Chains A and B, each alone.
Chain A
Amino acid sequence: MKIPCDAVAERVALGEALGELAAHAESCERCRRVVDLPGKLGATRHEIDPGLGFAARMTVGAQHRIVARRRRRVTAGLAAAVAAGALAVFVFTRTPDPERAPTEVATDTTQPAPEPVVEPTPDDELAALIHLADVDRSSRLSADWSEIEKPLRPYRKLLQGVTP
């Protein structure tokens, strides 16, 4: 429950009539002080004369501010656009440094990925068989038969005149 002093302060603050609390406000010194406060605060108001040409001064000042702010906004926009353009040019025209390339390779410690085992397809096998069947080509390319037959010559002599 509110004590009467708080209730008085609240009513004074909201500008409501004190009603049944008026008797308490009269007898309590704290409440009397609170009741006096709005009057004292009202006295702080200065009826100040803004001086001659106030409206003109304010209009000119406001216009100056509007123009200055617009100029500042345009300048800031231009600066941002130039900065963005410069960044874009830098990013798109940048080439990797050739001197740095080997270093990058050397520092690459990752193992090369194993080559995937490709299962030979039936077509591949057929092509290999045809390749092997070409005896002339195979003999010509793959071996020097004169050299191979050289150690066999004595045996050939032994077999001369023998028919199987």
Chain B
Amino acid sequence: MAMRADARSRLLAELAATPARKGYAIAYDLLRNRAEAEEAVQEALARACESIADLRDPAAAPAWFLRIVTTLCLRTLRRRRLKKRLFGWWPGSDDELDAAPTSADTGTGDIAERMHAMATIEPRTALEGQQALSSMMSKLDVLSPQQRTALVLRYGHDLPVAEVAELLGVELATVKTHLVRGLARLRDLMEEHR
């Protein structure tokens, strides 16, 4: 019992260092919300520590942890989508469900940071870049949670397809399908908005 608790606290300390930061980056890019991303990481840490007995190879712990984070994010995205479908008709619910990330979420809350950004980039370019980014984000929201996750992990985090498949817990061919369909859908959405 004591050995197990010891192994658990060791694993927690190990995961809370580098893998948790990586997990947080993935969770944030998928959920676009600091609080939800932190919750996903904490929940994944708790689950990983509770199921330590299931882990055969301790070296695989970081990858296992990231997989839990991705699964939790996917679940949150699905829940959001369902909520939107169920309560999207309710007046005012759009504001709540489609709330754009606040400055606290985008990490631009710091005035010094913003001043620095404005000084280095021309305002017009910065504005256009911001518009293009928010347009892309709104189009990503239209995709299914799996397609969105596959695209964000593949292109946002530059992960190989095999690693994306591992994180999503699906076959390689399934990830390829999600990528191809997701890109095609994004292209169509961009054509629609032209």
Could you list which residues of chain A lie within 8 angstroms of chain B, going by C-beta atoms?
9-10, 12-15, 30, 33-34, 37-38, 40-50, 54-59, 61-63, 65-66, 69
Query: Known: A48-B107, A54-B21. Is A59-B179 also a contact (CB below 8 A)?
Result: no
- With A and B bound together, what is the CA distance between A33 and B152 in angstroms? 18
Q: List 26 A-B contacts (CB under 8 A).
A: A9-B180, A9-B183, A12-B183, A13-B179, A14-B176, A14-B180, A15-B160, A34-B187, A37-B187, A42-B156, A44-B133, A46-B28, A46-B29, A48-B28, A48-B34, A49-B107, A55-B16, A57-B38, A58-B20, A58-B42, A58-B45, A59-B45, A61-B46, A63-B12, A65-B43, A66-B49
A contact residues around B186 at 8 Å (CB)? 37, 41
Report, nearest first, the 9 A-B pairs whose CB atoms are least far apart: A62-B45, A61-B42, A41-B155, A65-B46, A13-B179, A45-B156, A13-B180, A62-B46, A55-B16
Which residues of B are found within 8 Å of A45, using beta-carbon distances? 29, 152, 156-157
B139 → A minimal CB distance (Å): 10
In the bound complex, how far is the Cα of B184 from the Cα of A30, in angstroms? 10
CB distance from B111 to the nearest CB of A (A): 15
**Are A41 and B106 in touch, CB under 8 angstroms?**
no
DSSP class of A's interface residues: helix, strand, loop or mixed?
helix
Closest CB of chain B to A45's CB: distance in Å? 4
The chain B residue sitting closest to A45, CB to CB, is B156
A15 to chain B, nearest CB (A): 7
How many residues in B have their beta carbons less than 8 Å from beta carbons of A? 46
Q: Is the interface of B mostly helix, strand, loop or mixed?
A: helix
Contact partners of B158 in chain A: CB under 8 A: 42
Chain B residues close to A by CB (< 8 Å): 12-13, 16-17, 20-21, 24-25, 28-29, 34, 38, 41-43, 45-46, 49-50, 106-107, 129, 132-133, 136-137, 140, 151-152, 154-158, 160-161, 176, 179-180, 182-184, 186-187, 190-191
**Is A59 in contact with B133, judged by CB distance below 8 angstroms?**
no
Known: A57-B38, A62-B49. A40 touches B136 (CB 8 A): yes
Are the CB atoms of B21 and A50 closer together than 8 Å? Answer: yes
B107 proximity list for chain A (CB < 8 A): 46, 48-49
A58 to B180, CA, bound (A): 36
A13 to B184, CA, bound (A): 9
For the complex formed, measure the closest distance between the CB of A129 and the CB atoms of chain B, giving whole angstroms.
84
Nearest-neighbour CB distance to chain A for B167, whole angstroms, equals 15
- Beyond A14-B179, A41-B155, whether A69 also contacts B133 by CB under 8 A is no
